[in-house]
């Protein structure tokens, strides 16, 4: 081989090596890109700020159970129903940011029940399903993956000491829609009912906003709220959601951590504003 041929061969080899390195670099960068998990829901899932601590939503606590491979984008809005969330442009806001293979957790029902408020009320078998379908169809059109999440149950015990259902026909309507549209379903109504029954009447007070006067500076007069969570409850409900995501294979492998660990309340992050 003469010197010109040798130089040409060397240049070609270098070009091939450069192409392989570049390809591996791009592939590695792509593999390292985390999936986003958007949460569309109501006050039970919302993120609360430090002046509202220890109140917290399960969407706020969900990052505790996910690795950096999955990033939570909590867009849950206090007071929202499936209807008002859409009408306020909050779904449009999510769709402007969601990407192919991201996930959208959809959890409404608490405020859809409010017949006295036409801006929020939906009827379970008709308008409720219609609005939920917008979340499903429009996120799928963006290449994202919707997941329906039935409403977390309230802390309402019967005289026998068991949880009394408070969501009427809404959980069943969501289950029917999930089956019809072949959407993964997290039955949080069922799993939270089982959790609250297991923990009991007194034990569940540490999950909900049952605070004594003077216990927390943000609530000097105390509060008794059987719908919204303090940190311990938000963490345990988020654990139910994360466990279901893992068990159903919704998120990629390597997305979960500490599903069976004791989690302190301090793991919850309250933004300053």
DSSP string across 18-47: HHHHHHHHHHHHHHHSPEEEEEEE-TTT--
Encode pLDDT of 28-71 as tens digits. Answer: 334 468 999 999 999 999 999 999 999 999 999 999 999 999 99
What are 178-213's pLDDT values in tens digits?
999 999 999 999 999 999 999 999 999 999 999 999
Q: What is the pLDDT of residue 235?
A: 98
Please say if 130 is a catalytic residue: no
Selection from 256, 267, 91, 248 nearest residue 182 by Cα: 248
Lowest mean pLDDT among 5-14, 109-118, 148-157: 5-14
Nearest to 95 by CA among 160, 152, 143: 143
pLDDT at 12 over 80: no
Walk across the sheet containing 223-230 and list its strands: 55-56, 223-230, 208-211
Kindly report, residue by residue over 209-219, the tens digit of the pLDDT.
999 999 999 99
Domain 35-264 fold? Rossmann fold (3.40.50)
Examine the residue annotation and report whether 228 is marked as an active-site residue of this protein: yes
Give the pairing of strands 145-149 and 103-107.
Answer: parallel
3-class state of residue 83 by DSSP? helix
What was the pLDDT predicted at 32? 64
- The arithmetic mean of pLDDT across residues 140-168, rounded, is 98
Strand partners, 149: 186
Distance CA 42, CA 59 (A): 10
**pLDDT at residue 111, as a whole number:** 98
Catalytic residue chosen out of the listed positions 75, 228, 236, 255? 228
Query: How would residue 148 be classed by pLDDT, with cut points 50, 70 and 90?
Result: very high
Catalytic residue (choose from 43, 82, 84, 151)? 43
136/130 Cα distance (integer angstroms): 10
Catalytic-residue membership of 210? no
pLDDT confidence of 16, banded at 50, 70, 90? very low
Q: State how far the Cα of 197 lies from the Cα of 155, in Å rounded to an integer.
A: 10
Q: What is the pTM of this model?
A: 0.88
């Amino acid at each position: 081989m003469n010197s010109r041929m040798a130089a040409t061969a060397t240049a070609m080899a270098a070009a091939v090596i450069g192409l392989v390195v570049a390809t591996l670099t791009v592939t590695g960068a792509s593999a390292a890109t985390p999936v986003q998990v958007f949460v569309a829901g109501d006050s039970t899932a919302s993120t609360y700020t430090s002046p509202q601590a220890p109140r917290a939503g399960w969407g706020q606590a969900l990052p505790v159970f996910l690795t950096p491979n999955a990033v939570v984008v909590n867009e849950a809005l206090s007071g929202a129903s499936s209807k008002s969330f859409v009408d306020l442009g909050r779904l449009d806001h999510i769709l402007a940011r969601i990407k192919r293979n991201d996930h959208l957790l959809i959890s409404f029902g608490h405020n859809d029940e409010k017949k006295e408020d036409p801006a929020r009320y939906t009827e379970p078998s008709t308008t409720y399903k219609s609005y939920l379908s917008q979340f499903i169809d429009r996120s799928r059109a963006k290449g994202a993956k919707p997941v329906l999440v039935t409403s977390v149950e309230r802390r309402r015990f019967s005289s026998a000491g068991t949880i009394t259902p408070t969501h009427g026909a809404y959980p069943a309507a969501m289950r029917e829609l999930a089956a019809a549209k072949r959407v993964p379903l997290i039955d949080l109504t069922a799993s939270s009912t089982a959790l609250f029954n297991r923990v009991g009447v007194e034990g569940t007070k540490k999950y909900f906003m049952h605070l004594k006067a003077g216990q927390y500076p943000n609530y000097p007069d105390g509060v008794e709220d059987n719908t919204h969570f303090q940190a311990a409850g938000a963490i345990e409900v988020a654990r139910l959601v994360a466990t279901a995501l893992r068990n159903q294979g919704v998120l990629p492998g390597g997305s979960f951590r500490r599903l069976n660990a004791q989690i302190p309340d301090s793991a919850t992050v309250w933004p300053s504003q």
